[in-house]
Amino acid sequence: MKVLVSDNLGEDGIRMFEEAPGIDVDVNTGLDAEELKAIIADYDALVIRSATKVTADLLQAATRLKVVGRAGIGLDNVDIPAATQQGVVVMNTPTGNVVTTAEHAVAMMLALTRNIPTGTATLREGRWEKKKLQGRELYNKVLGIIGFGKIGAIVADRARGLKMNVIIHDPYVTPEQIEKAGFDSVDLDTLYERSDYITVHVPKLKNTIGMINKAAFEKMKPGVMVINCARGGIVNEADLLDALESGIVAGAALDVFETEPPGQSPLVVHEHVICTPHLGASTREAQTNVAVAVARQIIDFLTAGTVVNAVNMPSVTGEVLEKVGPYLTLAERMGCLQAQLVRGPIKEVVVEFHGDFKDLDLSPVSTAVLKGILTPVVKDDVNYVNAQVMAQQRGIKVTETNSAESDYYVNQITVRAITTEMSSVASGTIFGRKDPRIVKIDKFRLEMIPHGHMALIQNIDKPGSIGEIGTTLGRHNINIGRMQVGQEEEGDRNIIFLTTDTPIPEDVVEEMRQLSLVKTVTPLEF
């Protein structure tokens, strides 16, 4: 078996490959896309970090490739649907650098508060500016943490040790779970109003890009300090610069940027900003951890077929996978749908199996539902191995039921998501041998293909409603690839699923919501 390491990897990981029986490893970093494409057909495994782009084009050329391993968490540089289509397992190492990243956020907060970088720079220039560089104490200050995942939880724990008052906002974690950990759960506006420091620990998603913007800064306590060691783009850099100039924000600590490297960014040279070149995961320990983890996972997969930390395949035997594979795809997309339809933190998920499942082990299917529910929330942090644990950590109760009876289809899966504010029910089945379909949402029956850029529209069932929707999208040059309509079992409403070639911009979504016969518009991504 041949392994290609195309990005820099810790020596301990390379050594593990070299010492593994039956494994030949080549380390060839810095290749451009065409150079990598020219040699990839010779390899069974590819080990990457963030530099290598695993595109659909590359995967087409990778005729022997069985597995891609990412030494780290983020998988923005991997086309996961294309890899799945090619039968290539994609693994990451989601826990190797969480402590390191959390510690970096705390270090940035301390350095910002006590003007350490500026003090160092001015001393090197021969200046003694002791009075000018007066700082603050962290003791008794309020730290607002946005995001209570692995990293956010560690930051909260470290801040508690510094005797700070920690408040948390995470719309996907129940207040009970946050309070159980010993912290206060608050809404976002309250966090902005109360916090002396705000640190962001959420993944970069459609609904988190630019979430810390002008409107957010206007709600913050004057003199607040902002730390972003998560992902570039979550904090709007132009709005942050304005907030610094106006004095709303007294200082900012940035490890990540909208464009990396940021070039001649005015934030980098601002006197009240300290910054580092995306060093959150850059410690000797973290790099060793992820290198060893990815090497162990790749070796175990190639030599024993063991699947660990895969984001597109559960840890099951090939025989079981062949039988339940189509249901895994269906279940994950149903979970993803529910995550985008409900409001409030999910408290309970009920997975109901109806029909003839021929004594299949359905536990991987339930796990796929949870992975689908959590992916829009935590993105690359969740996989088939940790989905159950992550659900438990968020206080989500999971119930599974099985019945031999099915109303309309030979086999049907129903997912009920119950939140602090509402509940939602969706049912799905497999058409033919492997085509997933959503066949019911609440009281609406339909045949929806859950794939691509979509919008769910509830409208009054009257002539002209669909025409209004199509005209609005056409006016903005948005092409409708597919339209599926479902009718309410008892009532006067329709439900419409549109698949569009490109995502519908928020301003167009809002324009559609104002149409006379439209009740709701919900953008969806699969």
Q: Which residues are catalytic?
A: 231, 260, 278
**Beta carbons of 492 and 468 less than 8 angstroms apart:** no
Domains 1-94+283-309 and 98-275 share a fold: yes
- Round the CA-based radius of gyration of the chain to a whole number and report it: 25
Q: Name, in order, each residue with C-beta under 8 angstroms of 460's C-beta and a sequence gap of 6 or more.
A: 492, 493, 494, 517, 518, 519
Mean pLDDT across 281-286: 90
Q: What is the pTM of this model?
A: 0.76
- Whole-angstrom Cα distance, residue 145 to residue 253? 14
Which CATH number is correct for 1-94+283-309, 3.40.50.720, 3.30.70.100, 3.40.1080.10, 3.40.50.300?
3.40.50.720
Q: Please give the share of the chain, as a percent, with pLDDT higher than 90.
A: 66
Q: Which two tokens stand for residue 245?
A: 């100039």
- Whole-angstrom Cα distance, residue 161 to residue 199? 16
**Number of C-alpha atoms within 13 angstroms, CB side, residue 273?**
20
Q: Which CATH superfamily is domain 314-442 in?
A: D-3-phosphoglycerate dehydrogenase; domain 3 (3.30.1330.90)
**Beta carbons of 275 and 254 less than 8 angstroms apart:** yes
Q: What is the pLDDT of residues 292-319, one digit of tens each?
A: 999 999 999 898 878 888 888 776 655 6
pLDDT at 368 over 70: yes
Which CATH number is correct for 98-275, 1.10.3720.10, 3.30.499.10, 3.30.1280.10, 3.40.50.720?
3.40.50.720
Mean pLDDT across 221-242: 96
Q: What is the pLDDT of residues 102-153, one digit of tens each?
A: 999 999 999 999 999 999 999 999 999 988 899 999 999 999 999 999 899 9
**Number of C-alpha atoms within 13 angstroms, CB side, residue 248?**
18
**Beta carbons of 4 and 61 less than 8 angstroms apart:** no
pLDDT at 83 over 80: yes
pLDDT at 432 over 80: yes
For 29, which DSSP code?
-
Q: Which two tokens stand for residue 39?
A: 């040699």
pLDDT at 456 over 80: yes
Q: Name, in order, each residue with C-beta under 8 angstroms of 85's C-beta and a sequence gap of 6 or more.
A: none
